[in-house]
Amino acid sequence: MSGSERREPSDDVRHRRRMVIALSLSLVLIAIAVLVVGYVSGADPAVAGSSDGAADAATETPRPAPEAIPAPATVESFDKAARSLDDPTSIWVVVNKLRPLNPQDYEPDDLVSVPVEHTWEPELRQEASDAVVAMFDAALAEAGLELASNSAYRSYSAQEEVYDGDDLTTARPGFSEHQTGLTMDIGAASGDCSLAECFADTPEGAWLRDNAWRFGFIMRYPADKTDVTGYSFEPWHYRYVGTDLATEMHDTGFTTLEEFFGLPAAPDYE
């Protein structure tokens, strides 16, 4: 054979070459697969290249659970200590069968005549009087209803005459809200159901129930709170406490001063 002639490889050699190429391709594919698994699982590719690393790569690395976000703290925005509950001059003073006025013959020094329709000429403290006038005007302007005063301020001596011995319907002298100069018994100017439970079912009674809080008044003796207030239902008896407190009680659903301020119920005298 001359030097210019080229010898074809034997079948044996060709077979071995194919085996080497196939093995090389297999190793390359395995390496690529290991790298891909390591990338997806977050494993270190250098570790994933070993047999132990490949096993680790197949197992997902546990991640810590996120910390729970604490609920926002509840902040009391209404200051229940802003005014005294004991001072008779305070518009928040709480008077009931366990909390007499102090002194018991207390008389407000800022009483004024209230310029509204009335049975007996009413007197109230100036702030309460202004609020009553605004409320009566609104009832007429908004609903065409005419309201009237049936009773307002009563002195200690006047309460002695009014008290009839029935502790569910009248307060003893020195224990009456009327003596604070902040309370008015309100009825319809027509006299319909005056000082009677049926007043609650009149248009005037319904309007007061739904709107008095806007002017700083609360219905002091609700139908379902006799065991708390000590008095039977009086849908005509409205007590001035100021618009801030009346609004807060309305918005939070409280209907008695005792429950709102966390005071003991007063169903009976001591």
Chain segment 93-102, per-residue pLDDT in tens:
999 999 999 9
Position 173 pLDDT exceeds 70: yes
Position 50 pLDDT exceeds 70: no
Position 59 pLDDT exceeds 70: no
Position 126 pLDDT exceeds 70: yes
pLDDT at 232: 98
pLDDT at 154: 98
How far from chain centre, in Å, is Cα 237? Answer: 26
Arch. (CATH architecture) of 111-260: 2-Layer Sandwich (3.30)
Which is the catalytic residue, given 123, 234, 248, 258?
Answer: 234
8 A C-beta contact, residue 203 and residue 224 = no
8 A C-beta contact, residue 63 and residue 53 = no
pLDDT band at 3 (very low <50, low <70, confident <90, very high): very low
Any idea which of 70-79, 154-163, 193-202, 239-248 has the lowest mean pLDDT? 70-79
Is 67 one of the catalytic residues? Answer: no
Residue 103: asked if its preceding bond is cis (omega within 30°), the reply is yes
Region 48-53: mean pLDDT is 46
Region 198-202: mean pLDDT is 98
pLDDT digits (tens, 9 = 90+) for 19-39: 656 666 667 677 666 565 555
Position 76 pLDDT exceeds 70: no
Tell me what the pLDDT averaged over the chain comes to.
86
pLDDT at 39: 53
pLDDT band at 18 (very low <50, low <70, confident <90, very high): confident
Q: How many whole angstroms separate alpha carbon 270 and alpha carbon 250?
A: 30
User: Between 65 and 263, where is the model more confident?
Assistant: 263
Q: Is 221 exposed, middle or buried (0-12, 13-18, 19+ CB in 10 A)?
A: buried
Q: How many whole angstroms separate alpha carbon 270 and alpha carbon 140?
A: 43
- Which residue ranges make up each domain of the chain? 12-57, 111-260
Position 46 pLDDT exceeds 50: no
User: Between 64 and 203, where is the model more confident?
Assistant: 203
pLDDT at 30: 74
Position 56 pLDDT exceeds 60: no
pLDDT at 2: 44
